[in-house]
Amino acid sequence: QSAIIQRAMKRLSTHHDVPIYIFVEDVAASGGYMIACGAEEIIVDPSSVVGNVGVIRPSVGIHKLLDKWGIENQTRTMGARKEIGAITRPETPQEQQRLDSLLRQLHVEFK
């Protein structure tokens, strides 16, 4: 949603030929920071925290535990990448590369 808001702000600014100023009070991290970066200028209360906190994709792998307990994964999917990041099986090197690439792309958008 933050990227959508930022693009809408830029469109309105261009359409109406007016600059956008953002005022931050308290915290503007992650999505709030992304929105603020769409402004011509960011005005910040001195006690506020502003910045990118990074991109994270938390995950755990439980495939070994399932094997140990004799539980069979019976997931059915349609589509080549539908099960990417599934916790019930190990990630392939190609999936790891794809997920890392997506995280890098997201991180670049925040910069």
Catalytic annotation, pick one of 13, 47, 64, 82:
82
For residue 30, indicate whether it is catalytic. Answer: yes
Rounded alpha-carbon distances, angstroms, from residue 42 to 4, 23, 34, 37? 18, 6, 11, 8
| Helix, strand or coil, per DSSP, at residue 50 | strand
From the candidates 30, 59, 68, 111, give the one annotated as an active-site residue: 30
Cα 33 from Cα 53, distance rounded (Å): 9
Active site residue 82: yes
Q: Where in the sequence numbering do the catalytic residues fall?
A: 30, 82
